[in-house]
Amino acid sequence: MSQVRVFTSAALNYIPKVRLLFQSLRGHHPEWELHLALADELPADMDLSAEPFDFVTPISDLQIEAWRPWAFCHAIVELATAIKPFMLSRLLAMPDTAKVIYLDPDMVVFSRLDDILDALDEANVALTPHQTRPEIGLVAVMDNEISSLRHGIYNLGFLGVAATDTGRAIAQWWGDRVYYFCRDDIPHGLFTDQRWMDLVPALFPGIAIMRSSRHNVATWNLTTRELIRDESGQYLVDGQPLGFYHFTGFDSGAHRLMATKNIPDNEALESLITWYQDEMHKQESDPLCNTPWAFATFSDGKPITRPQRIVYRERADLQASFPDPFDASGYAEWWKRTAKSEYPGLFDGSNEKAELARLTAILRPGYGGQAQRIDWDRTRSLLGQAVGNPEIAARLAKRAWEILRTEGFQGVRHRLGS
């Protein structure tokens, strides 16, 4: 029997949100199999059998190459998004899988999603754009359309993939890129896992663009959708039952702020947000909410800072020297002894932001992407040209210095010919 498998991705402290999502799925699609991809470690004594999902797959089981040092390079949100294509490939490889759906943990399903399944009967992938209708007001254009140009045309809080050869190829392609480039780096055209999907309709056939206004309703498209609540209490969007709503940015308060800005004095929206807020309050006493992220600290319990993650991500020599960066006796000791002399700006609060911007000004692959094979013929050619041409020599020296500063001598050895 073919199976529809649904998954979300989160750390342990997000399970209360996951619980609400999967309870809503259980209510409307009890026939679907529900999975949690865990961007965390699962303690041996933790019992999740009462949760409304069928299977938990921790990052350690996703067969990601060198997963521990790779995980070190990511902040918690980056890691939760980076493991998505690997979980997708795992589920698509199961022999009885027909379709796989991903939903963000801060979503709730309000009615059946059969129209998505129907789309995947004909398509390899189903995507939901952030906007499906043009904005009218200039403020909304800036808030919503320009934001999509920065963050991605399609919202990757949802993704539907059919278990076809093309569907599996897209999952592999996505994972190959996310492995090196899952970061929040808008200046370089990256927003965690999301921007890659902008390319999918151009690179692969059979892509369904779900333009139904009932799906992936969120602050960025409320200005072009009519949300009401009928006499029975059901939420309707443009006269159709609300499929799923995306409560992104809820914890920070940004969701309510933008929602009420986009459609002020909307009773249905206020009712929806208040309901979700009340549901989240019910979860606050759950100890899982306060579960520390397994990858937040070194082995001695000291917190890992963003600069420590980025420097390790950017330098192949450090990756080679400290294959387990979480070990406090290794990379953390190097940081204490050496980092301040190499990166003084990272230790000056007033200059840290500028120093990080300088460090990441040149786009480089992340973990494992910099140990490239040396092109000796090209290297010899460049050195030969440099001997007789001061301009080429200066450019080559500048390139070598940039690599030396960020990747060390090992990086120069590996990348001078690139």
For residues 75 and 147, state if they share a domain.
Answer: yes
Of the pLDDT bands very low, low, confident and very high (cuts 50, 70, 90), residue 373 is very low
Strands 235-237 and 183-185: unpaired
Order the strands of the 3-10 sheet from edge to edge: 55-58, 33-38, 3-10, 97-103, 158-162, 125-127, 207-209
User: Using one digit for the tens of pLDDT, what is the confidence trace for 300-358?
Assistant: 999 999 999 999 999 999 999 999 999 999 999 999 999 999 999 999 888 898 999 99
In a domain, 143, yes or no: yes
Q: What is the pTM of this model?
A: 0.88
Q: Tell me the one-letter amino acid at 308.
A: Q
Residues 220 and 346 in one domain: no
Residue 317 and residue 182 in one domain: no
Q: Please give the C-alpha separations between residue 36 and each of 51, 94, 96, 277, in angstroms, as whole numbers.
A: 10, 16, 19, 23
Residue 269 and residue 321 in one domain? no
Residues 63 and 144 in one domain: yes
Same domain, 315 and 172: no
Q: How many domains does the chain have?
A: 2
Give the pLDDT mean for 223-242.
96
State the maximum Cα–Cα separation within the chain, in Å, rounded to a whole number.
83
Residue 325, token pair as written in the block:
């960066």
pLDDT at 411 exceeding the cut of 80: no
Enclosing domain of residue 347: 306-415
Same domain, 49 and 178: yes
Q: How confident is the model at residue 284 (pLDDT cuts 50, 70, 90)?
A: confident
Q: Who's near 246: CB < 8 A, 6+ residues apart?
A: 104, 106, 107, 155, 157, 216, 217, 218
pLDDT in tens, 96-113: 999 999 999 999 999 999
3-state secondary structure 87-110: HHHHHHCCCCEEEEEEECCCEEEC
Q: What per-residue confidence (pLDDT) applies to 410?
A: 46
Same domain assignment for residues 257 and 120: yes
Taking only the tens place, the pLDDT of each residue in 141-181 is 999 999 999 999 999 999 999 999 999 999 999 999 999 99
CA nearest 3: which of 25, 36, 38, 34?
A: 34
Q: Which amino acid is at 26?
A: R
- Grouping H, G, I as helix, E, B as strand and the rest as coil, residue 56 is strand
The whole-angstrom separation of Cα 287 and Cα 16 is 10
CATH of the domain at 21: 3.90.550.10
